Amino acid sequence: MKPAIVKLILAREVRDQLRDRRTLFVIAVLPILLYPLLGISMYQLSQFMHVRPARVLVVGAERLEVSPPLIEEGRFSTLLFASSGSAKMLELHFPSTETAESERWDRARELVLAGEYEAALYFPADFSARLEAFRASLTSRVGPRPAGRASSPEVPQPELFYIETNEKSVLASQALDSVLQRWTDKIGEENLKAAGMSVRAPHPFAVKKIDVGGKTNRLGSRWAGILPVLMLLWAMTGAFYPAVDLCAGEKERGTLETLLSSPAGRGEIVLGKLLTIMIFSIATAVLNLLSVGATGWVVLSGLTGFGLPSPAALAVLAIALLPMAALFSALCLALAALARSTREGQYYLMPLLLLTLPLVILPMSPGVELNLGTSLIPVTGMSLVLRNTLLGDYLSVLQFAPVVAAVTLAVCMLAIRWAVEQFNRESVLFRESERFDLWIWLQRLFSDRRPTPNVAMTVFACMLILLLSFFLATLGGEPDNFAGLVRSVLTPQLAVFLLPTLLLTLLFTTSPRETLLLKLPAWFTVPAAALLAVVMHPLIVLLGALVEYVYPVSESLLPSLKNIQELINRSHFWPLVILIALAPAVCEELACRGFILSGFRHFKGKWRAIIYSALLFAVAHGFLQQSMLAFFNGLVIGYLAVQTGSILPCMVFHAMHNTLALANGRLTPQLFEQWPILNSFAVPGEQAGCLFTWPVVLGCAIIGALLLILFARHPCVCVRPPEEGLENRILCPADSF
């Protein structure tokens, strides 16, 4: 890696982008003009926007003789509105008094339905008289009501006609509701006065609100919702357009080939381009923030007390922008490298936005706090750190910032690595336009069948498994007896894992034996796999506890999990072993370590295959906590599959692991009391299960490592996919990043 070459590429790319009017527009002109223009436009629009008053028909108004009055001089009394302007927004109309009383109710309803009026208010004929009688009944009785005496006369309800599906009508009804509520309150006060009571009787006190947060907090809370989201979104947008031009554009113009044949290495080219994209990403985010900040400060400061965030918050924003810009730049670069043309590149923006947006917006949801769990989520963790910084909650920021920084850095490195990989792939750099033809694709699936599935078929199988498991999960109910448990376990095992795997293997491969690893392994691998599952159990239990501590199971899920656990504890052990240990060991292993792993070995060697198959294994497991453990187990079982070349050790490991988990669930505190020796190995859980002591965990970890070394030293002698060999042969150290 020569810094001089990187600098040269960077300088060229920056100059090139600065000469591009489109890029300049998005990066500089748009942010400078957008927010002030938006502010001015909103102001201008508000000048032109004329809200028409709602037309309200009031039936029976002429008979209202109630104090305080509801209607004065053809309008609702101004005392019944928070502001005098609001009173003008209700335009009252009164029907002819000649209409017969029996028809007035129907007529009012019809007129609202016909759209003549937004709402209608109907006062029954005896409304005033009965309200007066009610008041009189109150004045004649002061003090507590004696038992057995008749209650106060009922007051008939006025009726409000509106149409729920008509927005104007709903707004008019809400305004009327508020007016009538105030009128009722006023009548109540008058009644209390008439009864000789204090008007404060129904509301003897009011709560005094005191904002104990300082000015920084007040300002911060206003910015906390806007700035992180804006910064992250613009950092991504600012990275995307230059990335498309620098990769897809260069491919389109044909200049990439010349650059690749120059002394600049792929790593240097990627780094030069990445730094360019980062500069533009940062510039876009900063200019947008400055513009929105200035506009907000100038336009809104007088109205709502907006001001600038604290310098410390601004400093954290600036620091956070660097890794986020690097992350988005690397993602955009890798995506843009996939595109054949700038037009195609622009299509990739939407999926990227759809994937990133939830992570950016998640911190805006109420109840999402910065903790260990959320700080481990890329983008979201950073967004929460920024939000808390703006809110002045520096303690939580200091606590979790290292975790967020580590996660961001790791994801950033992965994204950069992906981008470099794209530049090392000929199929990506020289991809030509290929019209997708379903018929040709299907023909090729049959004609190009190989002993093991190809990558496309493997991806299809993954999608099929995930879709089926999703639909079955939504259809399946909670089991309430053993038969229900059998159904709920076996149905997904057969329908999601076993049948699709067997079908795809028979249809699209020429050797089910090689695909599903149906071979006998070296004899020692089977007991070694069983022993590995045993010694890994304490580690898995510890990992499970850790996962549950970081990501506690949601309250909504707990009752259902508790019910299933109780059902399992009530059932006989050995039938459960067959159901929960053996059946998944066979079905899931044939799918994940058989078909999927064999297919992915055509992609990028054995390690990628192990990781991808473990990922599918994890995602196919119900909920997050279970998936995390499944991923870890998937990695180990995948390694066993690759090293032994047989599915048998994988099934043995899987079955043993599940059996031990079942057995652990049955260890109750009472059992520990009965068998005190157990206390020297493990600590009982609150209700069931146990955590192993540290010496046991460490001892098992050492034995587990030795067993893995044993598997590593005795790899199976089997045919490996040609891609694995080719990958090793053509690995070019000179071009490595």
- Torsion-angle region of 74 (φ positive above 0: left; ψ -120 to 50: alpha; else: beta): left
Site for another protein in 6-25 (CB under 8 A): 8-9, 12, 15-16, 19-20
Name which position in 463, 503, 546, 726 contacts another protein (CB under 8 A).
726
Which range of residues in 247-255, 289-297, 351-359, 413-421 is near another protein by CB under 8 A? 247-255
Stretch that binds another protein, among 60-68, 122-130, 259-267, 643-651 (CB under 8 A): 259-267
**665-684 mask for another protein (x: CB under 8 A)?**
--------------------
CB of 8 to another protein, least distance (A): 5
Going by their DSSP bridges, the two strands 90-93 and 54-59 should be labelled as: parallel
How long a stretch of residues is the chain?
A: 737
Q: Select the residue interacting with another protein from 73, 98, 448, 555 (CB under 8 A).
A: 448
Q: Which of 64, 180, 195, 260 binds another protein (CB under 8 A)?
A: 260
Please pick, from the candidates 48, 205, 436, 439, the single residue that binds another protein as defined by CB under 8 A.
Answer: 436
Options 154, 434, 555, 686; binder of another protein; rule CB under 8 A: 434
Distance CA 496, CA 509 (A): 19
C-alpha–C-alpha distance, residues 571 and 132, integer Å: 71
Among the listed residues 25, 347, 430, 681, the single contact to another protein using CB under 8 A: 430
Which one, 29 or 726, has the nearer CB to another protein? Answer: 726
Minimum gap (Å) between residue 263 Cβ and another protein: 5
Options 27-35, 71-79, 136-144, 432-440: segment touching another protein (CB under 8 A): 432-440
- The region of 39-47, 443-451, 464-472, 556-564 touching another protein under the rule CB under 8 A is 443-451
The CA dihedral of 288, 289, 293, 295, to the nearest 10 degrees, is 0
Cβ count near 71 (within 10 Å):
17
CA angle 245, 246, 251 (to 5 degrees): 85
Nearer to another protein, 257 or 369 (CB): 257
CA atoms within 13 A on the CB side of 361: 6
Q: Which part of the chain contacts another protein (CB under 8 A), choosing from 164-172, 178-186, 256-264, 531-539?
A: 256-264
Question: Interface with another protein includes 265 (CB under 8 A)?
Answer: yes
**Residue 98 or residue 448: which is nearer to another protein going by CB?**
448
Distance of closest approach, residue 5 Cβ to another protein, in angstroms: 6
Rounded Cα gap, residues 107 and 102, in angstroms = 9
In DSSP terms, 160 is beta-bridged to: 121
119-122 and 54-59: which strand pairing? parallel
CB of 236 to another protein, least distance (A): 24
If the CB atoms of residues 152 and 258 are measured against another protein, the closer one turns out to be 258
Instruction: Enter the tokens of residue 594.
Output: 């058989």
- Quote the least distance from Cβ 441 to another protein, whole Å: 8
Asked if residue 78 binds another protein (CB under 8 A), the reply is no
Q: Which is nearer to another protein, 52 or 435 (CB)?
A: 435
Nearer to another protein, 1 or 702 (CB): 1
Q: Does a cis peptide bond (omega within 30 degrees of 0) precede residue 68? A: yes
Per CB under 8 A, the list member of 447, 670, 674, 680 interacting with another protein is 447
Please report how close the Cβ of residue 532 comes to another protein at its closest, in angstroms: 38
Q: Which residue from 261, 365, 474, 556 is in contact with another protein, where contact means CB under 8 A?
A: 261
Residue of 194, 440, 467, 546 interacting with another protein (CB under 8 A) = 440
**By C-beta, is 395 or 734 nearer to another protein?**
734
The one-letter amino acid at 129: A
302 touches another protein (CB under 8 A):
no
| Nearer of residues 447 and 556 to another protein, judged by Cβ | 447
> Which residues share a beta bridge with 516?
none
Q: Name the residue nearer to another protein (CB basis): 420 or 532.
A: 420
Shorter beta-carbon distance to another protein: residue 22 or 513: 22
Nearer to another protein, 151 or 433 (CB): 433
Q: How far is the CB of 367 from another protein (least distance, A)?
A: 48
Nearest to 236 by CA among 155, 335, 409, 352: 352
Q: Are strands 159-161 and 690-692 parallel, antiparallel or unpaired?
A: unpaired
For residue 424, the SS3 value is helix
HSE-CB at 504 with a 13 A cutoff on CA atoms is: 31
Closest approach, Cβ 258 to another protein, in A, equals 6
Least Å distance between CB 19 and another protein? 4
Strand partners of residue 682 = 692
The rounded radius of gyration (Å) of the Cα atoms in the chain is: 36
Spatial distance between the Cα atoms of 19 and 524, rounded to a whole number of angstroms: 67
Q: Which stretch binds another protein (CB under 8 A): 1-9, 482-490, 579-587, 613-621?
A: 1-9
DSSP sequence for 228-289:
HHHHHHHHHHHHHHHHHIIIIIHHHHTHHHHHHTSS--HHHHHHHHHHHHHHHHHHHHHHHH
CB of 515 vs another protein, minimal distance in Å: 20
Mark residues 390-429: x for contact with another protein by CB under 8 A, - for none.
------------------------------------xx--
Structure tokens at 283: 């510039």
Within 140-225, residue ranges assigned H as helices are 167-194, 215-224
User: Nearer to another protein by C-beta: 211 or 448?
Assistant: 448
Phi, psi at residue 309, to the nearest 5°? Answer: -70, 165
Q: Secondary structure of 71-111 in the HEC alphabet?
A: EECCEECHHHCCCHHHHCCEEEECCCCCCCHHHHHHHHHHH
The CA-atom distances, in angstroms, between 108 and each of 54, 71, 169, 594 are 15, 18, 14, 73
Residue from 146, 254, 302, 367 in contact with another protein (CB under 8 A): 254
Between CA 32 and CA 59 the distance in angstroms is 56
**DSSP classification of residue 368:** -
Cβ pair 224, 391 in contact under 8 A: yes
Q: Which is nearer to another protein, 483 or 734 (CB)?
A: 734
User: Any contact of residue 713 with another protein (CB under 8 A)?
Assistant: no
732 binds another protein (CB under 8 A): yes
- Return the number of other C-beta atoms located less than 10 Å from residue 15's C-beta: 10
The number of CA neighbours under 13 Å toward the Cβ of 29 is 8
Residue 231 near residue 285, CB atoms below 8 Å:
yes
If binding means CB under 8 A, how many residues of this protein chain bind another protein? 36
Report if residue 510 touches another protein, rule: CB under 8 A. no
For another protein, the binding residue among 139, 198, 255, 679 (CB under 8 A) is 255
- Report the nearest approach of another protein to the CB of residue 448 (Å): 6
Q: Are 679 and 694 in contact (CB under 8 A)?
A: no
Q: Which residues bind another protein (CB under 8 A)?
A: 4-5, 8-9, 12, 15-16, 19-20, 253-255, 257-258, 260-265, 426-427, 430, 434, 436-437, 440-441, 444, 447-448, 726, 730, 732, 734-735
